[in-house]
Structure 1
Amino acid sequence: MSHLILLPILLPMLTALLIMLPPVHHSPDRRRWLSMASTLLLLVMSVWLLSQTLTDGVTFYALGNWQPPFGIILLADTVSVLMVCLTSFLALGAICYGSAGEDERGSFFHPLFQFQLMGINGAFLTGDLFNLFVFFEVLLIASYALLIHGGGKNKTKAAVHYVVLNLAGSAVFLFALAILYGTLGTLNIADMAQKISAVPAEDIMLVKAGGLLLLIVFALKAAILPLQFWLPATYASASPPVAALFAVMTKIGVYALLRVYTTIFGEHAGPLAGMASAWLWPLGLATIVLGAIGVLASLDFRKLVANLVLVSVGSLVCLVAIGNTAANSAVLFYTLHSTLVTAALFLVADMIALQRGKAADRLVSARRVAQPVLLGSVFMVAAVSVAGLPPLSGFVGKLMILQAVDSGPAQIGLWSVILVSSLLVLIGLSRAGSTLFWRVSGQPANEDKAKPLQVFAVCWLLSASVALVAFAGPITALTQQGAVQLADIPATLSIILPAAGATP
């Protein structure tokens, strides 16, 4: 039992506590360097954990040596550890951008940032539904404070909506867990997968009700239509590094959908198999359409990027609904691409806004930016990638999505929506780019030039789009392995519950 699985959770927690203690707390530079160094170390450990997982296969950590299904376990497989690596890579870019000055606009930015990383990593690594709820609450509490960091009317208004909705979601989550625990007698994901096929006939509707309540909760977290209305205003009002980190928040909801409705309510679940697909497929397509329309209708660049998040979420949800190995592999690859590119676009939007005077990021005529070559270049790279044009990672991701459906009406529906939405996104980004960089008047203000840490953060995140293409072969092989591992429920159960020795 390797203690390495614990480190992506322990390291951010200990870093947050250390930052709040003197003498680190009293020095902005010490807070920044400790936070950045810790996040870099987190990335190194995450890659190390991924390497170990690829060598050893699925492993788990039983806290207090209480063996499953009775104790709390952390599960390390290719899917969960890949998501932890994604979070660490994203967090390094976000914390570097925040350390350029955004962190001093309010209190406790770095401890809150680290606590949120703790919650996110815990949500990906947990092997228990109740502890998924616990880590959801940890990351949500940190996100509440990060959202209003620096203050302001727009942030406060968005935070009120965000907090109320998520508190309601947490209540529904608890109801779902109570129903499932009352009927199955466990909340260990592997143990639930083993028991689901043997549910008595009189309890099937209760278990289905619990499963559908979970679907509502995860749909809210992922911002699936009709529970998406909180996202554009929330992401657009957040400070740039927070919005960049929030790019992975919706992916936690998608990951939960993938994990729960593949492992627990998968093909082995008898009459409960595939209960979510009938809902996720149409709602995913509708979310893509709504996001694409939002991109066209956005009056400022930040909301345009927030709507791009909706487009990516809808695409991922459709793949989860398909549920085959190719679709799950595409989920993983497209999650890597879309999270990092949209996060970079949030940072680019802030850099542009700081150089346009009172117009900020509104899509109106304004003064010329001070660094048109730099900002135009990073905008172009991000726009080409997020629109799915070659030669960047968006093209590979969209191709994997289209190939996930073999034939029939599903193929016609998915291909039509993906291709038309990509065209609308391209038109929206072209309109935004021409307005921001060509409809200009007046002279730029040189004092608003981007700082080195900000430029590094954006380039760091955008480099992932290039890397995903340059190493597309090994990365797609990795995502394929993760998809196969996720679908092999008997093998996972034999590792986590060896004493049971049963297959679902």
Structure 2
Amino acid sequence: MTNLIIAPIVIPALTAAFIILGLRGHLKTQRTVSIAATTLLLAVSIGLLYQAASGVPVVYKLGDWPVPYGIVLVLDRLSATMLVLNAVLGLGVVLYASAGSDRKGRLFHPLFQFQLLGINGAFLTGDIFNLFVYFEVMLIASYGLMVHGGGSARLKAGFQYVAINLVASTLFLIAIGLIYGVTGTLNMADLAVKVPQVAAADPGILKAGALLLFLVFATKAALVPLHWWLPATYASTSAPAAAIFMIMTKVGAYAILRVYGLIFGADAGALAMAAAPYVLPAAVVTVVLGTIGVVGTRTLKGIAAFAVVASMGTLLIALGLFNATGVAAALYYLVHSTLAGAALFLIAGMVAEGRGGMEDRLRPAMAMRAERMIAGLYMLAALGMVGLPPLSGFIGKVMILEAVRTSPGWPWIWGVILITSLLLIYGFARAGSTLFWASAPAPAERTDPRPKIMRPAGAIGLLLAVLMGWTLAGGPAAAWMQETAAQALDRNGYVAAVLGQRPGEPPGGY
């Protein structure tokens, strides 16, 4: 079973190569292969989740090189949960795209598979340099998906997206160089051992590297003031691309938790909790600015994009506590916000297609085909993004509110979360009433191509069904996240699994 850990990387890599080399010009076959590969990826990810439930991290050494010299993949509850989430999201997106969105540009399916490859690699790697490598794979694929279908607005936003990520990649490499120069290693478990032992003259250099890494991860996670690229990027790209991008902001949050919970956590000596003073205040401001954007924007995709910023702020408020209760609440809400946000972007794509030249602008127009069905899907996705009962967003926000009660400024944080939730309700209600209630009647003679509508609606329904399942399983899911959070913050257990030693013990075997 250990060898199965590499499958989430190998499956999309081979699928993308096969499509490029053997199926160019055969879109229908590409769809079949891409859907089948993503379904297989989901099955494998669920198997790995079952394996991770043992509570002991599983290590895969590529080429059987000894740690910390070789490349290592590490499977634990956190990485396994993120793999399953990525596969579920990927299956919903590829089903939606295969209904016709993938016709608008070339190579959608190989780019999509490379995107899954980079994301899965980032979740599994046990090495900071390879985290950089998988970030780049993920970002290069996202560049292609970002401009898929063309258009001046999309190209403009794509240029901005490329520029900010090139800067972030440069900072990532500089940070890696600083950390390696001081510690002589980039293996996460080895760093967890060596960072507390850094000589008295070196903490300044190491802290500079740690904070540069935080800037990179905060950019990926759209944390204020590094969030400004996201609304224009997500609102300008295609609906399937924006939906799969929902997991990319979560990669940034995952990296913050992995690096600053494990390497620069409470046991890191002079570097202990290096990022903690910055996460919580910035997250509170992120919620506020994201909510203002939802209220002020005039397109449905724009609302969805700013809602992503607000949801990331809410998630990072809990994550920034860096304790088991806060991390558990953040992870539960992470799953919810990813599925709800992706569904909302796909609904925005259906709205833009159905309203002709008016697209998704918040102005009254002629009624869409199957408008009631689309309105129902919108209502469920909006309830999820706002965090209203009975969906899991409400459970997640309650968990976050309970977690922050240990923070000195918890009344202010409660006020921000509750007030912004009310404003989000207003923003989504305004958009829904304009798009669906204020529409003019459709001509009676217009035919109803229901099959063309049902296929993308079915993909959205899949994501919303998983979201409702996450709600119904709220108790077991919260318990799983409690165990996941405890393991993610367990420095000793991670080091023992990867290095075969406890922190402070002499190296064994290398």
- Where does 1:355-394 land on structure 2 (aligned, <5 Å)? 355-394=354-393
Partner of 1:502: 504
* 1:38-65 deviation digits (Å, cap 9, x = unpaired): 0011000000000011136211101000
Partner of 2:187: 188
Structure 1 residues 438 and 26, CA gap change in structure 2 (3 angstroms): same
One-letter amino acid matched to 2:391: L
Note if contact 1:94-1:244 (Cα within 8 Å) is conserved in structure 2: yes
1:163 matched to 2:162? The reply is: yes
TM-score, normalising length from structure 1?
0.97
Match among 464, 467, 473 for residue 462 of structure 1: 464
Structure 2's unaligned 5+ residue stretches are none
Counterparts of 1:126 and 1:503, CA distance in 2: 24
1:482 matched to 2:481? The reply is: no
One-letter amino acid matched to 1:119: G
Counterparts of 2:127 and 2:224, CA distance in 1: 27
Counterparts of 1:409 and 1:364, CA distance in 2: 44
Structure 1 residues 401 and 102, CA gap change in structure 2 (3 angstroms): same
Counterparts of 2:482 and 2:241, CA distance in 1: 31
State the 1:442 CA deviation: 4.6
Structure 1's unaligned 5+ residue stretches are none
Counterparts of 1:393 and 1:408, CA distance in 2: 24
One-letter amino acid matched to 1:209: A
Partner of 2:8: 8
Q: Name whichever of 82-91 and 451-460 sits farther off.
A: 451-460
* 1:284-304 deviation digits (Å, cap 9, x = unpaired): 000000000000001000000
Runs (4+) of structure 1 moved beyond 4 Å?
Answer: 444-450
* 1:68-89 deviation digits (Å, cap 9, x = unpaired): 1111101100001100110000
Root-mean-square deviation over aligned CA pairs: 1.5
Note if contact 1:59-1:75 (Cα within 8 Å) is conserved in structure 2: yes
Note if contact 2:55-2:77 (Cα within 8 Å) is conserved in structure 1: no
Note if contact 1:337-1:464 (Cα within 8 Å) is conserved in structure 2: no
Note if contact 1:365-1:440 (Cα within 8 Å) is conserved in structure 2: yes
* 1:208-247 deviation digits (Å, cap 9, x = unpaired): 1000000111111111111111111110111111110001
Note if contact 1:194-1:503 (Cα within 8 Å) is conserved in structure 2: no
- Where does 1:437-452 land on structure 2 (aligned, <5 Å)? 437-443=436-442, 446=447, 450-452=452-454
* 1:188-225 deviation digits (Å, cap 9, x = unpaired): 00100111111111001111100000011111111111
Counterparts of 2:48 and 2:403, CA distance in 1: 29
Structure 1 residues 56 and 2, CA gap change in structure 2 (3 angstroms): farther
Counterparts of 1:430 and 1:409, CA distance in 2: 34
Counterparts of 2:493 and 2:462, CA distance in 1: 37
Structure 1 residues 181 and 61, CA gap change in structure 2 (3 angstroms): same
Structure 1 vs Structure 2: percent identity of aligned residues?
46
Counterparts of 1:215 and 1:226, CA distance in 2: 13
Structure 1 residues 503 and 404, CA gap change in structure 2 (3 angstroms): farther
Partner of 1:227: 226
Note if contact 2:57-2:74 (Cα within 8 Å) is conserved in structure 1: yes
State the 1:488 CA deviation: 1.4
Counterparts of 1:77 and 1:387, CA distance in 2: 31
One-letter amino acid matched to 1:97: Y
One-letter amino acid matched to 2:474: A
Note if contact 2:311-2:385 (Cα within 8 Å) is conserved in structure 1: no
Partner of 2:271: 272
Q: Name whichever of 393-402 and 433-442 sits farther off.
A: 433-442
One-letter amino acid matched to 2:382: A
State the 1:330 CA deviation: 1.0
State the 1:448 CA deviation: 6.7
Counterparts of 1:38 and 1:376, CA distance in 2: 32
* 1:342-379 deviation digits (Å, cap 9, x = unpaired): 00000111111222222111001111122122011111
Partner of 2:21: 21
Note if contact 2:367-2:442 (Cα within 8 Å) is conserved in structure 1: yes
Note if contact 1:363-1:435 (Cα within 8 Å) is conserved in structure 2: yes
Structure 1 residues 5 and 343, CA gap change in structure 2 (3 angstroms): same
Partner of 2:50: 51
Q: Name whichever of 483-492 and 285-294 sits farther off.
A: 483-492
Partner of 1:412: 411
**Counterpart secondary structure, 2:21:** coil
Counterparts of 2:125 and 2:286, CA distance in 1: 28
Counterparts of 2:502 and 2:396, CA distance in 1: 39
Counterparts of 2:501 and 2:294, CA distance in 1: 52
* 1:81-117 deviation digits (Å, cap 9, x = unpaired): 1001100000000000000111111111100100010
Counterparts of 2:449 and 2:428, CA distance in 1: 24
* 1:319-356 deviation digits (Å, cap 9, x = unpaired): 22111101111111111000010000001111112222
Note if contact 1:357-1:366 (Cα within 8 Å) is conserved in structure 2: no
Structure 1 residues 152 and 487, CA gap change in structure 2 (3 angstroms): same
One-letter amino acid matched to 1:311: A
Counterparts of 1:131 and 1:193, CA distance in 2: 17
Aligned length: 503
Q: Name whichever of 30-39 and 483-492 sits farther off.
A: 483-492
State the 1:316 CA deviation: 1.7
Counterparts of 2:494 and 2:293, CA distance in 1: 41
**Counterpart secondary structure, 2:73:** strand
State the 1:260 CA deviation: 0.5
State the 1:501 CA deviation: 6.1
**Counterpart secondary structure, 1:268:** coil
Note if contact 1:357-1:367 (Cα within 8 Å) is conserved in structure 2: no
One-letter amino acid matched to 1:418: I
